[in-house]
Every structure is written in C-alpha cells, then in structure tokens.
Structure 1
Amino acid sequence: MPLALLALALGGFGIGLTEFVIAGLLPEVAQDLQVSEAAAGMLISGYALSVAVGALGLTALVNRLNRKHVLSGLMILFIAGNLVSALAPSYELLLLLGRILSALTHGAFFGIGAVVAASLVERSKQAGAIALMFGGLTTANVLGVPLGTLLGQQLGWRSTFWAITVIGVLALIGMLVLLPDRPVDKGAPGLRHEVTAFRNRQVWFSLGVTVLGFGGMFGAFTYIAFTLTGVSGFASSWVPGLLILFGLGMFAGNLLGGRAADRSVPLTLVVVLSSLLVVMIAFALLAGSQIATVLLLMAMGAFGFATVPALQTRIMGDAGEAPTLASGANIAAFNVGNALGAWLGGLAITAGGGYTSPLWVGAALTAGALLVLVVAENSRRRAGRPSADGTQDIPQLTGIHEHV
C-alpha cells in the first residue's frame, strides 16, 4: 500500500470529522446560540451545499495544477475555516463563514484525491484504493465523532473545533511529507476536455443515484441525536457511544463495499441500496426499542457508506479519460444529497412528524435511488455497453495515471 494513500486518508479524517461531528453536537449548539433544531440543522445542510459548490468550482479552477500543491492548499483553507468556527461569536458567523469556508475545500479535496488514489495502484485495486482514502471519513466517525461529541459536551462545542484545527495541521504535515510531488503535465486534458464526460447519460444517472442514495442516509443521520434521546430514550451521555457504533458500521461498510465494487459495481449498489431501504424502514418502526436501535444504527452506517466506493468508481469509469471533474461532481452530488436529506428531515420534524420522520424521509429517498439505478442499468444494457463491473471499468481510467 502506497504511503501516499495514508496521507489522503489522514486528510479525509480531518475533513470527515468537521462534517459529521456537528450532528452529535446539534443540541448543544442550538441551546448555546439560541436557535431551533431546524436552524441548527442548517449547519449541516449549508455545509453540504457549500461542498457541492467547491467540488465543482474549485476542481475546475485547479484542474491543470500540481495535485500535491492543490491538496495541501485546500487543507490550509480547511484549517482556517475550523479556526473561524471555534471563534465564531454568533450562529450567522459560524454558518456563513466558518462552516462554509471549511466546506468549500471538502469537495475539491475528495474529488481530486479520489483520482489521485486511483492512480497510485494497479487497475484491479482502484475501487479499494478509493475506499481506503474515504476510510478517513469512516475512521473519523469511529473515533473522532464520538470523542469530539464527548469533548464538546464536557468542555463546550467550541473545544471540538479547536481539536479539529489541530488535526487539520497534522493532516497538512502528513500530505506535505507523503504525497508524491509530480510536475504538471502540460499535455494533460484541460477543463474543456473534462466537461465532455457529461455527454454520457450514465454520468448523470450516477449523480442521481448519489444524490438520492446518500441523501437517504443523511435524511436520517442529521437528526439522529434527537431520535436517540427523544424516541429511543437514551440519555444524552449515551450519544457518543452510540455514534461509535454508527462509525464502526460505516468503517466496515466502506471497506467491504470497496472490495465488492472491485468485483461488480452494479450488483454491489443494488444489494446495498435495497438493504439500506429495509434498515431505514425497520428503524423508523422500531426506534422505541433500544436494542433494535443499536443494531439498526450500526446497519444504517454500514449500508449507507458501502455505496461510496461503488458510486465513485461508477462515475469515474463512465467518465473515461476525463475523470477529474466528474469525480468532483459526484462529491458535489453526495453533499447535495446531504443537504436535501437534512432539509427534508427538518421539514418533517417541523410539520409535526416527530423524530422518527427523518427515517421515513431517508427511506423514500433511498427507494428513489434504487429506482434510478435500475433504470440506468437497463439503459446501459439496451445501448449494448458493458456494465460498470470491476475490471471492465478500469481500463477507461488509464488516463488518470498519465495526467495526475
């Protein structure tokens, strides 16, 4: 395993922590800044929308620049955003400057980082390499989010953002030391060539599945602290430990999903999305049972994140020789889904649906993702094109090795 993958995973850990830890701290943030649950949820959905903007805008701007310099620069901006969040005196400043500044770097980092990760290994292991990079996100959930939530509950939510700032500095050092410093290839395809990927309808199908599938999980996860305390009857002190279980599920699902996607992308997505749909419905029905909640929370994390390597591999394969902007677009789609799920979940709560209503919202979005995927694969078969199946996909990614 190339050490550079560890550097990317370390960066992903810091970014994943700032994205997800806020969910466990929403009650504390809402109380301290005197805003409603739905307004506090905007710290998640606003972040997600900003990730989408950065994933497309910044990726397009830096497409021809040295990848190591770009990723390091993005991490510096990420550190600045978390420093602002730690110091923000008001909800408006936290949302409009701290969270958004951090989020703008997120999308471009993972979009470009996924392409770099795929370029560092042989073709048959590219989905696994992408999974390892995104493993930083899942590790953040296993270790960082519960500990960050506990830290925020004990010392105030601002202390968590101070800790994230320090982690960002360590991640930056790791990337500066471990990432290969490759000169810019003057013959690399430019932005105009990257845009050609969007002529393929399968790229758009992939974006649709990503928005709905990931939006489904986040429709439920955004308000999970309220569900755990308000429906399942857990004390707030239990929330960090329960988030560890959710993170363990994400970690396992991400790695196993990457291995499965190296064999069959479409089969992996069908199985995982179908399972996620069943889990969310069961969770909504059984949230009053603490035992069922523990099991289903872990399963939701596992199946929710098992989609990530397959979705990223699918769109990069269909993008062919122009994968960078398509990869960034899929990161944007992940976060548009996050924002959509958080927004709809908040509307459901505000409408009086209770704290299980976001789970029903998540189930509906996941069902939509499964439907789009079935339509996409049927369209591919009618066109006589090979499925996005592991090694069948990978020859289309050879240009990555030349252009990173």
Structure 2
Amino acid sequence: MGRAWPILILLGFCQFCASWGSLAIIAVQVEMRSGLGVSAEDVAALVWAFSFSLAVGALVAQVLIGHWERRAVLFVSLALLGCGGMALGFAQNWEQAMAARVAMALGAASVMPTASVIAASLVTEAQRPAAMSVVFGGLTTSLVVALPISSAVAEAAGWRAAWFVAGGAAFVAAFGVVFGVSGGVRGTRASFTAMLAVLADRATSMTIATTLLLICGGFITYAMIAFWLIEVGEAPRTALTTALLAAGIASVIGNAFSSHLVRLLGRDGTILGGLAFTAVCFLILWAAPHFYWLSYPAFIFFGVGWALCLAPLQARLMETAGARAQLALALNASAFFGGQGLGAAGGGAVYEAYGPVALPIASVAVLSLATLLFFISKQTNPPSKAKTT
C-alpha cells in the first residue's frame, strides 16, 4: 500500500479515539459515581445515552452532511469529540455530564464511516481488505490500550483527568487530519427511504437484530463490570485495570482467529459457537462468582465470543443485502451502538432492581434471544442467497 500507510495509520488512530470516547466511562464509572454524587443507574445512563446518540447520529449524518468534504467531516467530528471529552472532565453535575456525553457521541458518529470511506479511496480494490484491517485495528487496539489507560489515569489522578486525556487524543487526531488527509473529495447523501428498503428484507433485518442483541446482551454486564468486579467479585480497584487489559487482549485474539474458525466450522457454525461461548462465560459469572479461577477467566474471555461472531455476521449481512450491502453495514453499525445503549440501560436497571449479582444471568437471557433470532434469520434467508459454508 506504499504511501498510503501513514494516512491509514492516522485513520486508525481516529477510530481509536472514537472508540476510546465511547468506552472509557466503563473504566472510570466507580469514580464518577462518587465524584458526581449519583447512582449506578445514572452512570449507566451516561453509557447508553452516548450509544443511542451515536447510533441515531450516524444515520442522520449520512442524510444531512453526507455531501460535505470528507476531510472537513472528519475534522469537525473529531474536534466535537474532543470538546465533549474536555467538557465531561469539567462537569459539575449529572446534567452537564450528560450534555457532554451527547456531544461526544455526535462527534464520534461520523468518524467511523468517514475514516473507512477515505481509507478505501486510498488503495486499489484488491488492497481494500488490508486497508480496512489497519483502520479498524484502531477499534480493537482501544480495548487493549485505551480502557487500561483511562483506568490507570483515574486511579492515579482522578476521573476528570482521564477525560482530559481522552479529549486531548481526539484533538491530536483532528490536527493530524488537517495535515495528513487530502481535501476536495465530497461524499454522497443517503436517504431514509433506502434504509427502510434494506430493512424490508427479513433475512437482512433479522441478521442486524442478531447483532443488536449480541452486543446488548454483553453490555448488560460489561457496562457495569466495575461494580460487578468490586461488589460481587470482591476484587480491589487496582484489579480493574488488569482485567480490562486482559479482556481487550483476548478480544483481539478472538478477532484474529475468527477467519480460521470460519474455515473449520463454517460461517454460521462460527456465529453459533461464538454465541454459545459468550453465554457460557456469563453463566459462569452468575453461578460461580467467588470461584476466582473460573469467574475471572470467564470475564476475560467472554470478549472472544463477541469477536468470533461479529465478522461472520457482517459477511452474512453482505450476502443477504446484495447490492445494498454498504447501507446494510451502516445500519448494522448503528445496531452495534444501539445494542451498547440498550445493554447499558438494561444493566443499570438490573443493578438497581436486583443488584450486580443478577447482571450476568440477564446477559445470558438476551444472548439466548440473539441465538433464537439467528436461527430464524437462517430460515428466512432466500434460497437464492443461501450459503452452505
């Protein structure tokens, strides 16, 4: 890919910052609860508000500013993400924190699709898979690096400092875009009518719904994992950083081995295996939280199941959507973040009603529904589009 490498790495860093802004709250939620004087459910609301705002904002942005110059879209998006992060660091109450989170989400909404389109334009069609892997590597890297950084900064200097660091990273990426990405290239607007046409295909819509429930089920527990580790797992606060780092590394490993398992088990077999593995991990967290030699590895490795499912689900989606695959993938991305929002909201409600011990079994229930939907989507897949692998 020659000269494109530096720009691809920059675009990957943009993705890294967007994911960092989304997930860093998981690493600092305990400190934010005490610092703002709010409940765990209020902290969960800051998670799901970001996810819902991003899920909706990503689609609305395609309609309203899809025709803007792509470099301008990426710069403005990252600048808004950075401003929101700084504002969150200065927030004095829950209302100010919520406004800052929504601003961050609206900034992050256009980062992922715009960075991907720019990356695809830099290389030949044959090189696009490799280019996409570099850019989307920013997402998986954020799990390994960003969350432990936020956790460590919060532990050492407070939760506000963690948001200043995350916001500062977004500003660095924004200035990098100004000097590293060529201007003059404009995008095209999408339409809500076209989105509805994609969702009218039952196999496609059910596959998107499977993604939503997969992420929702995981996030019921993951969005509240700091409370579970400390209050149920009886882990010290210092263990959270290590646990998040280990879980991020496990997710990267799962993503790396996904293609190998597809060749071994087939696409649908890999999806079912990932769903089952994730559910078993949460079942262990619920049934044996104090058997640390079981429960801690279960938390660390549940992300492997997630990672095994996501790429094959996207491949299946491209098959069922046919010529509308690009728009279907955009809707799937919104389902991904919408699932985060639903999971965080559900996790906060479960925590307040039944305590943190009930979080994993709630995750299992939703993952079971995701598995059922996947079976239904297989049955409704048109024969002309079916694939046996």
| TM-score of the superposed pair, with normalisation by structure 2 | 0.88
Q: Distance in 2 between matches of 1:130 and 1:192?
A: 26
The 5 A counterparts of 1:78-117 are: 78-95=81-98, 97-117=99-119
| Contact kept? 2:44, 2:348, Cα under 8 Å | yes
Q: Distance in 2 between matches of 1:254 and 1:280?
A: 19
CA deviations on 1:161-215 (whole Å, 9 max, x unpaired) are 1101211122223434444556337xx6753784343343233112201110011
The yes-or-no answer on 1:231 pairing with 2:232 is yes
CA deviations on 1:71-106 (whole Å, 9 max, x unpaired) are 2321122112112112222111111x2100111232
The change in CA–CA distance for 1:175 and 1:273 in structure 2 (over 3 A counts) is farther
The match for 1:330 is 332
Aligned length: 384
The change in CA–CA distance for 1:127 and 1:244 in structure 2 (over 3 A counts) is same
The match for 1:221 is 222
Letter in 2 for 1:242: A
Letter in 2 for 1:384: S
The match for 1:372 is 373
Letter in 2 for 1:100: V
| Contact kept? 1:110, 1:328, Cα under 8 Å | no
The yes-or-no answer on 1:69 pairing with 2:83 is no
Q: Distance in 2 between matches of 1:29 and 1:152?
A: 9
The 5 A counterparts of 1:3-402 are: 3=5, 4-95=7-98, 97-117=99-119, 129-179=131-181, 181=183, 183-184=185-186, 190-191=190-191, 194-195=194-195, 196-257=197-258, 265-352=267-354, 354-380=355-381, 382-387=382-387
- RMSD over aligned CA atoms reads 2.8
Q: Distance in 2 between matches of 1:316 and 1:7?
A: 27
| Contact kept? 2:213, 2:370, Cα under 8 Å | yes
DSSP 3-state at the match of 2:384: coil
The 10-residue stretch of structure 1 (289-298 or 84-93) with the greater mean CA deviation from structure 2: 289-298
CA deviations on 1:110-129 (whole Å, 9 max, x unpaired) are 23444555666676776665
| Contact kept? 1:63, 1:191, Cα under 8 Å | no
| Contact kept? 2:15, 2:115, Cα under 8 Å | no
| Contact kept? 1:82, 1:162, Cα under 8 Å | yes
Q: Distance in 1 between matches of 2:22 and 2:387?
A: 33
The change in CA–CA distance for 1:137 and 1:258 in structure 2 (over 3 A counts) is farther
CA deviations on 1:308-327 (whole Å, 9 max, x unpaired) are 33334443454444445433
The 10-residue stretch of structure 1 (193-202 or 7-16) with the greater mean CA deviation from structure 2: 193-202
The change in CA–CA distance for 1:323 and 1:107 in structure 2 (over 3 A counts) is farther
| Contact kept? 1:272, 1:306, Cα under 8 Å | yes
The change in CA–CA distance for 1:257 and 1:119 in structure 2 (over 3 A counts) is farther
Letter in 1 for 2:362: V
Letter in 1 for 2:288: L
The 10-residue stretch of structure 1 (298-307 or 78-87) with the greater mean CA deviation from structure 2: 298-307
The match for 1:398 is none
Deviation at 1:266, TM superposition (A): 3.1
DSSP 3-state at the match of 1:184: coil
Q: Distance in 1 between matches of 2:383 and 2:304?
A: 33
| Contact kept? 1:82, 1:98, Cα under 8 Å | yes
DSSP 3-state at the match of 1:145: helix
Q: Distance in 2 between matches of 1:60 and 1:355?
A: 40
Letter in 2 for 1:341: G
Identity %, equivalent residues: 23
Q: Which runs of 5+ in 2 are unaligned?
A: none
The match for 1:402 is none
Letter in 2 for 1:223: M
Q: Distance in 1 between matches of 2:325 and 2:178?
A: 24
Q: Distance in 2 between matches of 1:219 and 1:89?
A: 27
The change in CA–CA distance for 1:150 and 1:323 in structure 2 (over 3 A counts) is same
Letter in 2 for 1:64: H
| Contact kept? 1:135, 1:255, Cα under 8 Å | no
Letter in 2 for 1:215: C
Q: Distance in 2 between matches of 1:92 and 1:252?
A: 38
Q: Distance in 1 between matches of 2:62 and 2:260?
A: 27
| Contact kept? 1:189, 1:322, Cα under 8 Å | no
Letter in 2 for 1:277: A
Q: Which runs of 5+ in 1 are unaligned?
A: 390-404
The change in CA–CA distance for 1:164 and 1:320 in structure 2 (over 3 A counts) is same
| Contact kept? 1:151, 1:159, Cα under 8 Å | yes
The change in CA–CA distance for 1:197 and 1:259 in structure 2 (over 3 A counts) is farther
